[in-house]
Structure 1
Amino acid sequence: MATKVITALVDDIDGSEATETIRFALDGQSYEIDLGDANAAALRASVTAFVTSARKSSGSFEATSAVRSNKVELVLIRAWALDQGISVGDRGRIAASVVAQYRAAH
């Protein structure tokens, strides 16, 4: 007996067939959305003015968000993470996902 599995990409806006997954970040949170050609073009058109006026950052978004933490904030993040049962080291980098969780909670 043969089994055939078909995976369909569905547009998250209107439920039609999607042609691509678009990844973006805003306010420290990363997102991805599956869109068809028309909705992908609409998304790109709606952010064009902002993208053309913005500057590119080096590295990935998650890495740069962790770098932006100051020493006081790092102490607060470590304390908060331990209260939440999240394992973090006493020294060194804190995972970007933990920083994002902390910022979302505050």
Structure 2
Amino acid sequence: MAQTTRVLLTDDLDGSEATETITFALDGINYEIDLNAPHAQQLRESVTTYVISARKLSSRRPPTTRRASAQPAADRPDTQQVRDWAKAQGISVSERGRLSNDLIVRFQEANH
């Protein structure tokens, strides 16, 4: 027995029959939306100005952003010194891992 499966797309904006699925990404998050032809055209027209000025990425991997540390590495104190100072002050600090900027600032204020 033969079976036929039909997939009907519904426009995510107004519930009418959609004609296509559009995928896009913004701020590292991928989105997908089913739209009818007029809504798809409206979406494309609304982002055209930005697309024209944007750089196209060659990979499908979203770009990563690196946050700059509050201080350049050369200006940051030795982490073991900070840990030792914190323990001497009765501040709970782990043996490994990143130190909070707040703790580093407190250390620097107390030692400079």
Is 1:35–2:41 an aligned residue pair? no
Question: Which one has a larger percent helix, Structure 1 or Structure 2?
Answer: 1
Q: In angstroms, what is the RMSD of aligned CA positions?
A: 2.3
Aligned-pair distance for 1:28?
0.7
Q: 1: distance between equivalents of 2:3 and 2:47?
A: 43
**Is the alpha carbon distance of 1:15 and 1:68 closer, same or farther for their aligned partners in structure 2, counting shifts above 3 Å?**
same
| TM-score after normalising by structure 2 | 0.52
| Higher radius of gyration, 1 or 2 | 2
Q: 1: distance between equivalents of 2:23 and 2:3?
A: 32
Q: 2: distance between equivalents of 1:56 and 1:4?
A: 39
**Partner residue in 1 for 2:46:** 46
Count of residue pairs brought into register by the alignment: 68
> Counterpart of 1:49 in 2: which secondary structure?
helix
**Is the alpha carbon distance of 1:5 and 1:57 closer, same or farther for their aligned partners in structure 2, counting shifts above 3 Å?**
closer
| TM-score after normalising by structure 1 | 0.54
Runs of 4+ aligned structure 1 residues displaced above 4 Å come to 1-5, 67-70
Contact 2:28 2:62 in 1 (8 A): no
**Partner residue in 1 for 2:95:** none
Q: 2: distance between equivalents of 1:50 and 1:27?
A: 14
Q: 1: distance between equivalents of 2:5 and 2:56?
A: 40
Q: 2: distance between equivalents of 1:18 and 1:8?
A: 8
Aligned-pair distance for 1:55?
1.1
Is 1:25–2:25 an aligned residue pair? yes
Q: Specify every segment of 5 or more residues in structure 1 that has no aligned partner in the other structure, as ranges.
A: 73-106
Instruction: Report percent identity of matched pairs.
Output: 53
Q: State the one-letter code of the partner of 1:13.
A: L
Q: Specify every segment of 5 or more residues in structure 2 that has no aligned partner in the other structure, as ranges.
A: 70-112
